[in-house]
Amino acid sequence: MTRTNKIACAVSLAAVFASGTSAAVRASYFGGHKMYLTFSGTVSLPGAELRAGTYIFETPDPDAPTLVRVTSRDHRKLYLMAFTLPVSRPQGMDPNRPIAFGESEPGTPPRVRAWYPEGDSTGREFIYKK
């Protein structure tokens, strides 16, 4: 590795570490979005149930902004990695509310219909099989 490449690598790593530690709720993740969301009860996503607790919702690839990954807070368990549909925040929805819930069958956990990353007017709508 040349001296110039080593310097560029060191600067890139420093930028990544600085951006990842600057905020508790939202941090930059290689140009994507990352949020820690805490649920007080069980909710559902396509093919997964999230029990009460804190989870990471993120768009890990800036070249695929509709790809969403949901993991445990410590990144050890992957609950969902799926493409979503872009959806505008409904008029009148609180801009600080990151989740919209959809209809679910009686006796089942509420469905997370869409996630709205902080500072984004466009959310990511989850695709459920009928």
Q: Residue 57's beta-bridge partner residues?
A: 35, 70
CA trace torsion 35, 40, 45, 49 (10° rounding): 120
Q: What is the pLDDT of residue 32?
A: 64
Q: What is the pTM of this model?
A: 0.73
**Tens digit of pLDDT for each residue in 30-54?**
346 899 999 999 999 999 999 999 9
Taking the C-alpha atoms of residue 5 and residue 119, their distance in angstroms, rounded to an integer, is 34
For 12, the 3-state DSSP assignment is helix
Taking the C-alpha atoms of residue 34 and residue 19, their distance in angstroms, rounded to an integer, is 11
Taking the C-alpha atoms of residue 100 and residue 36, their distance in angstroms, rounded to an integer, is 16
Residue spans of the domains in the chain: they are 24-125
**Tens digit of pLDDT for each residue in 82-130?**
999 999 999 999 988 999 999 888 999 999 999 999 888 899 999 998 7
Model confidence at 3: pLDDT above 80: no
